[in-house]
Amino acid sequence: MLRRKRKIIHFIRHAESDHNIAPFDTRLRDPYLSQKGRIQAEALGEQFPHLQDVDLIVCSPMKRAITTALLVFKKHLLSSKKQLIALPELQELSGKPCDTGSSLAELLTEFREEPLDLNHVPHNWESKDGAWSPTEQRTLARMTRARAWLRSRPETNIVVVGHAHCMQLLVRDAPEEYYNDGIEAIRLGLLPEWKNCEWRSFSAEVHQDHVLWFDELRASKKAKSRGENVPRLTNGKESRKSSQTSSEMPDEFDKNRSRSVWSSKSSQLPFPPDTSPDTVTRKARTWPNEAASSPSSPKQTRKLLSAIRIRK
């Protein structure tokens, strides 16, 4: 199968934001980084091992992602005279206020002195209707557009700063034979968590079908297994011990949670509050009312995903 020159893409989840800490208020619209989050981002700016190789940095237009990227890479951006590019397809997936962005006018005003390129952000990008609505169809379409955009860029060493669920879906962070079940796997908490300010590096290749395929690098997996892919804070405490899990919606105790996952053909994406295999996940047929242990093996994960496919 013919392949084009591969790209290396480093994905970084935003640092801790105000809605990631107690009382986990998802009603906050487009929340800022917390004080700890700013410390995390600044620490990563000193510790990110691939800084000198990067030739393009792109981020979600959410303020927590923009601020994380600027704090981590501002020195690099200024010295290279390049700009951080905001791409609306990288926004988080839910329709909650915490995952609803600010208007383009507000972003232009607030970040007017920063090396930030907002030319790809349309005036209605913060709307949860139409092309930006949190439906399965629209969400998958946005992921397709994001992959196509990354594929089209001439740069071969790229950083993407974004959100846990978006990145899980973007890189198809699931067993290979179940890539098409990414949304269901996110709902059930079957995908690896992304801690605040955690980075992972992937090889991205364009195959003959013009689809961008991601494969996590061995060095990235090794760093992750050692806990070296999260910033070490100056007080000696690893952020990985206190960061929130991959969920962007930690207190989603609303009516959506009473629905069975099998009714998820509806328009919204009702993600569980803690979608981490290291925390509590939910049984497929009883979610979210009955807690269950996380899948303890890839075999169990495949069984759950097989059940999803059969039910479809």
Alpha-carbon span 185 to 295, nearest angstrom: 12
Report residue 108 as tokens.
Answer: 């232009």
Residue pair 261/284 in contact by the 8 Å Cβ criterion = yes
pLDDT at 68: 98
pLDDT at 153 > cutoff 90: yes
pLDDT at 262 > cutoff 50: no
Report residue 279 as tokens.
Answer: 């925390």
Alpha-carbon span 276 to 295, nearest angstrom: 11
- 23 upstream amide cis, omega within 30 of 0: yes
Domain residue extents for the chain: 7-240
Alpha-carbon span 197 to 38, nearest angstrom: 10
The residue that leads in pLDDT, 153 or 311, is 153
Q: How far is C-alpha 122 from the geometric centre of its chain's CA atoms? A: 21
pLDDT at 81 > cutoff 60: yes
Looking at the chain, the whole-number percentage of residues with pLDDT higher than 90 is 55
In which band, very low, low, confident or very high, does the pLDDT at 191 lie, cut at 50, 70 and 90?
A: confident
Across the chain, mean pLDDT equals 77
Cα-flanking dihedrals φ and ψ of residue 57, to 5°?
Answer: -125, 125
Question: What does the pLDDT average to over 93-122?
Answer: 96
What is the per-residue pLDDT across 274-287, written as a single tens digit (0 to 9) for each? 333 333 233 222 22
CA distances from 103 to 10, 63, 264 (A): 27, 11, 29
Alpha-carbon span 40 to 15, nearest angstrom: 6
In which band, very low, low, confident or very high, does the pLDDT at 189 lie, cut at 50, 70 and 90?
A: low
pLDDT at 30 > cutoff 50: yes
Which residues have CB under 8 Å from 64's CB, separation 6+? 14, 15, 17, 30, 31, 32, 33, 37
pLDDT at 238 > cutoff 50: no
Judged by average pLDDT, the poorest of 152-161, 242-251, 255-264 is 255-264
pTM: 0.74
Report residue 37 as tokens.
Answer: 């989050």
pLDDT at 122 > cutoff 60: yes
Alpha-carbon span 187 to 167, nearest angstrom: 14
Question: What does the pLDDT average to over 197-214?
Answer: 82
The residue that leads in pLDDT, 6 or 64, is 64
The CATH homologous superfamily to which domain 7-240 belongs is Phosphoglycerate mutase-like (3.40.50.1240)
pLDDT at 261: 24
Question: What does the pLDDT average to over 76-89?
Answer: 95
Judged by average pLDDT, the poorest of 36-40, 98-102, 111-115, 288-292 is 288-292
pLDDT at 129 > cutoff 70: yes
What is the per-residue pLDDT across 168-186, written as a single tens digit (0 to 9) for each? 888 876 444 445 566 777 7
CA-wise closest residue to 276 among 237, 248, 255:
248
Judged by average pLDDT, the poorest of 1-10, 62-71, 253-262, 289-298 is 253-262
Question: What does the pLDDT average to over 284-292?
Answer: 27
Question: What does the pLDDT average to over 126-137?
Answer: 90
Cα-flanking dihedrals φ and ψ of residue 292, to 5°?
Answer: -145, 160
Alpha-carbon span 248 to 235, nearest angstrom: 26
